[in-house]
Amino acid sequence: MIKQVSKWVGVAAVALAASTSVQAQNVTLRFSNWLPPTHPMVTEMLNPWAKDVEQATEGRVKIQVLPPLGNPASHYDLVRNGVADMTIGVHSYTPERFKLTEMVELPMTAENAQVNSLAYWRTYQKYFMGKNEHAGTKLLGAWVPGSYQLWTAAKVDSLDKLDGTKIRIPGVLVERIAKLLGLVSISSTLTEAYDQISRGIIDGMFQNYTTVIDFNLARFMPNLFVLPGGFSASSQFMVVNERSWQRISEADRAAIDALSGEALVKRFSGIWQKNNMAAFDRLSAEGIKVHRIEGEQLEAMKTKLAVIEQQWLSEAKGVEAQEALNFYRAELDRVAAELGVPKD
């Protein structure tokens, strides 16, 4: 009798262990989304990627996209602290916190979003990933949505005529650029930009082409200054809470890894680049006045903005910053050649 009971206890224990193992492999990740649900980052990037994750894990890992659980600037901490499992964010929304990511915000790098993003990601992996800037989370990818150009309400033909103009800026490095250009900086997130420009709180902003279309900003800013390589760029990221990541089986983590990293960066930035090109064509057709900075004015701009690079080099502690920057700039050319496209 004792042997029979022991036998059934053993069978039950094995069954319970198997059941627990199956349950442990089925995970729903809560994704806090602060963007409008119709934004291309949601409809063209996040949602299709989430479906691919579910398919690659045979339905064991699902991503549930939720309305924002906090303001845009809080989203990294929401994931780090486990309030949400995943999110997309913008590094510069938390000034000075992600100092190494500011490398991609430097002026005059590459306007092509995919070229810039791949060069940035490869540099970040090689020089910065081990510095644990994203502690408590797993960084699934970091990219740029294209370069920032300068949009203004004032219909002027020279940057010199913008002295004192109120410009929305997304972070510290862009604020420094604005100051060097004689602009007055007003810090805000992208979701606040429409209200600010429509009410005249600001007179313009640094922004990429697609975002100007997506947030209906063009009618308030009909004047555009274009700098080769851009005045700056925005570093965007996707992270998952480390504890949430460990809840996923090893095999399913490998499947998600295959869709992340460089694959994710290339995918998302490729969509940004396609949309930017279409947006620029549309804006040009709608009568946006474009002023290209070139010739002597371009040389003067390079001289004026050179200090921005030196400041970042001095502030990027614990890394071979100059070596990383040299690698990044060389990688911009390599990636452009690899893709067979111009940088700008």
For residue 96, name the pLDDT band (cuts at 50, 70, 90). confident
Which segments of the chain are extended strands (E)? 27-32, 61-66, 86-90, 137-143, 147-152, 166-169, 184-187, 204-207, 223-226, 232-233, 236-241, 289-292
Phi then psi dihedrals of residue 249, to 5 deg: -60, 155
- To the nearest whole number, what is the mean pLDDT of the chain? 92
Non-local CB neighbours of 202 within 8 Å, separated by 6+ positions: 166, 167, 168, 186, 188, 193, 196
Q: How far is the C-alpha of 18 from the C-alpha of 13, rounded, in Å?
A: 9
DSSP state of 155: -
* φ/ψ bin of 129: left (φ > 0), alpha (ψ from -120 to 50), beta (otherwise): alpha
Give the long-range contacts of residues 163-169, CB within 8 A, separation 24 or more: 165/203, 165/204, 166/201, 166/202, 166/203, 166/204, 167/202, 167/203, 167/204, 167/205, 167/206, 168/193, 168/196, 168/197, 168/202, 168/204, 168/205, 168/206, 169/205, 169/206
pLDDT cut 90: percent of the chain above it: 85
- The predicted-structure confidence for 187-207, as pLDDT tens digits, reads as follows 888 788 889 999 999 999 999
pLDDT higher than threshold 60 for residue 6: no
The mean pLDDT value for 6-34 works out to 61
The mean pLDDT value for 167-174 works out to 90
pTM of the model: 0.90
The rounded radius of gyration (Å) of the Cα atoms in the chain is 23
The mean pLDDT value for 75-84 works out to 97
The mean pLDDT value for 206-230 works out to 93
List the end-to-end C-alpha distance of the chain, in Å, as a whole number. Answer: 81
Element (H, E) at 216: none
Helix ranges (DSSP H) in 144-261: 172-180, 190-198, 209-214, 242-246, 250-259
Residue in 23, 33, 29, 89 with CA at minimum distance from that of residue 64: 29
The mean pLDDT value for 172-185 works out to 94
pLDDT higher than threshold 70 for residue 11: no
pLDDT higher than threshold 50 for residue 24: no
pLDDT of residue 3: 47
pLDDT of residue 8: 45
Q: What is the amino acid identity at position 85?
A: D
Q: How far is the C-alpha of 280 from the C-alpha of 153, rounded, in Å?
A: 17
